[in-house]
């Protein structure tokens, strides 16, 4: 029997519904249940793949090649599950599916309406995991009161009636602190719950986001005004780390309250030993190492998975990774030494478009010449390849076909099957692909195996025409896709740590299993 937990948010956005959903999933896993987590986003885009990172932050990619919201990264990092396209849905995809069915005549001439056709499509997607997992956690993006969210909330209302005791609602709200009055205010939470009730949904559990501790009396007040059991009112205070949240939720009995709502025996509270060991490592890490993040999106969420992967690798290496964002647009030949001063290594970030690429190339040149550990990911790897062509192979005009379609030395070129594609969305090389590692290479030693699979998100590739030139000059092509013969990984063996990957290893790094490339990179820079 599959049970459903619907997670919604009220008062303001950016409360951390993704963290709470992930924490609930982790706590249920610790009790031995199988779980998955879905994200339903109200925007009309088919997916976030064409959205500017400044608009939406990082675009996360599932193993089966779906471009999704960054919250799916939280789901995977916390729980270790592997999400697919069924774990992410947007208003755009819902409407697209309904319209395609209407065009085929599937509705037999009926007038297509939001209710029941759109809401039925939402419900079908929510129930797509029926019978596969013990619990399905469904997070609804946006904030209660947003007009875009109305069809999703109506679908949830219907499902709760249809499922009876097999579905509950968890509502996350904000309790603001007014400094002038020195008071925490619960009125916004009361209004948010009342709005939910007006839509026919009574929250079963309330999670109160707060910057200051709430007294039991205040929790009792919220419980009374919102028709929620006191044990089902928990607080989510600001924590030193997001990874402390599951433990805080367990301490307050959130998982126990959820099980009781479903009529499931609670039993003993699990110890969560691996998670707590990780937290102990995090608290005990004292030494600080600085890593330069060379990119063009000066927004923390734009490189969310990379930042988290570096932090996780630091914790397991016994250090705190301090990330210095270095805007590649500001890097020149004259100031590169100053810009990179103090960092023990750099990560050349992924991205799209020409803006900022010359700064990335200059940074890669500087770190190669000064033997500073360097990690290039996706476009970052391509910049490493271009830099090597210009300054070692002697092709001063070397470039990517993406940046200069007339370059005579297109060391990075567009894939043949991509040349006639006109649509931008969902048409890149996306998802997990196999990669064979060269025995004896640095990356093979790091992985501890020679056959791996990693996730991609790009359109341009290493040009194999130049492969022999690179190999002779000292840049080894050590990772190859067995089906297409495309180069996936390059490294310079004579350097301390100089590796570029065409794929995105950050998507596979989790709290309990940090990615080996990030682990080894941080290990190298933490040596001194």
For 50, which DSSP code? Answer: G
Secondary element (H or E) of residue 27: helix 17-30
Between CA 491 and CA 476 the distance in angstroms is 5
How far apart CA 177 and CA 183 sit, in angstroms, is: 6
Q: Which residues are catalytic?
A: 378, 504, 506
* Phi, psi values for residue 145, rounded to 5°: 110, -20
CA 28 – CA 254 distance, rounded (Å): 10
- Give pairs for 491-496: CB < 8 Å, separation 24+: 491/441, 491/442, 491/443, 492/368, 493/441, 493/442, 495/368, 495/371, 495/373, 495/374, 496/371, 496/372, 496/373, 496/524
Q: Supply angle C-alpha 157, 160, 164, rounded to 5.
A: 155
Identify the burial level of 416 via C-beta atoms within 10 angstroms of its C-beta, where 0-12 means exposed, 13-18 middle and 19 or more buried. Answer: exposed
Tokens 């249809």 — which residue? 162
Beta bridge partners of 437: 479
The single-letter DSSP state of residue 116 is I
Could you give the CA distance from residue 397 to residue 305 in angstroms, rounded to a whole number? 33
The total number of residues shown for the chain amounts to 528
Q: Are 470 and 493 in contact (CB under 8 A)?
A: no
Q: How far is CA 68 from CA 35, 88, 453, in A?
A: 19, 6, 19
């Amino acid at each position: 029997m599959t049970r459903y937990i619907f997670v919604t948010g009220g008062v303001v956005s950016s409360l951390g519904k993704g963290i709470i959903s992930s924490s609930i999933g982790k706590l249920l896993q610790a009790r031995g249940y199988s779980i998955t987590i879905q994200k339903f986003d109200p925007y009309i885009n088919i997916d976030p793949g064409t959205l500017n990172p400044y608009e939406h932050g990082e675009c996360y990619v599932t193993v089966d090649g779906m471009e999704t919201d960054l919250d799916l990264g939280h789901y995977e990092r916390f729980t270790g599950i592997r999400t697919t396209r069924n774990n992410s849905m947007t208003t755009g995809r819902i409407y697209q599916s309904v319209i395609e069915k209407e065009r085929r005549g599937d509705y037999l001439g009926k007038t297509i309406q939001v209710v029941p056709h759109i809401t039925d499509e939402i419900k079908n997607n929510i129930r797509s995991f029926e019978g596969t997992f013990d619990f399905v956690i469904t997070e609804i993006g946006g904030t209660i009161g947003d007009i875009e969210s109305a069809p999703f909330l109506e679908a949830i209302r219907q499902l709760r009636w249809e499922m009876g005791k097999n579905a509950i609602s968890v509502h996350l709200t904000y309790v603001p602190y007014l400094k002038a009055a020195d008071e925490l205010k619960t009125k916004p939470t009361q209004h948010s719950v009342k709005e939910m009730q007006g839509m026919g949904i009574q929250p079963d559990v309330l999670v109160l986001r707060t910057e200051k501790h709430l007294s039991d009396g205040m929790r009792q007040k919220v419980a009374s005004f919102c028709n929620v059991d006191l044990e089902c009112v928990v607080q989510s205070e600001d924590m030193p780390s997001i990874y402390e949240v599951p433990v805080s939720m367990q301490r307050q009995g959130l998982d126990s309250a959820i099980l009781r709502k479903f009529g499931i025996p609670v039993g003993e509270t699990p110890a969560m030993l691996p998670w707590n060991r990780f937290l102990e490592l995090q608290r005990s890490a004292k030494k600080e190492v600085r890593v330069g993040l060379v990119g063009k999106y000066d927004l923390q969420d734009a490189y969310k998975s990379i930042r988290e992967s570096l932090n996780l690798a630091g914790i397991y290496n016994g250090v705190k990774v301090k990330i210095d964002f270095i805007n590649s647009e500001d890097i020149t030949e004259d100031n590169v030494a100053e810009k990179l001063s103090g960092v023990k290594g750099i990560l050349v970030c992924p991205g799209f478009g020409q803006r900022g690429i010359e700064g990335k190339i200059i940074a890669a040149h500087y770190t190669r010449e000064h033997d500073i550990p360097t990690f290039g990911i996706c476009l970052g790897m391509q910049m490493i390849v271009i830099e090597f062509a210009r300054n070692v192979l002697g092709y001063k005009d070397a470039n990517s076909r993406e940046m200069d379609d007339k370059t005579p030395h297109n060391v990075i070129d567009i894939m043949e099957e991509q040349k006639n594609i006109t649509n931008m969305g969902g048409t890149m090389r996306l998802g997990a692909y196999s990669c064979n590692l060269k025995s004896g290479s640095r990356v093979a030693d790091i992985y501890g195996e020679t056959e791996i699979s990693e996730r991609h998100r790009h359109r341009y590739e290493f040009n194999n025409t130049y492969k022999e030139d690179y190999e002779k000059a000292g840049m080894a092509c050590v990772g190859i896709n067995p089906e297409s013969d495309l180069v996936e990984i390059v490294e310079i063996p004579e350097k301390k740590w100089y590796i570029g990957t065409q794929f995105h290893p950050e998507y596979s790094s989790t709290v309990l299993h940090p990615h080996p490339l990030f682990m080894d990179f941080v290990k190298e820079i933490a040596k001194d």
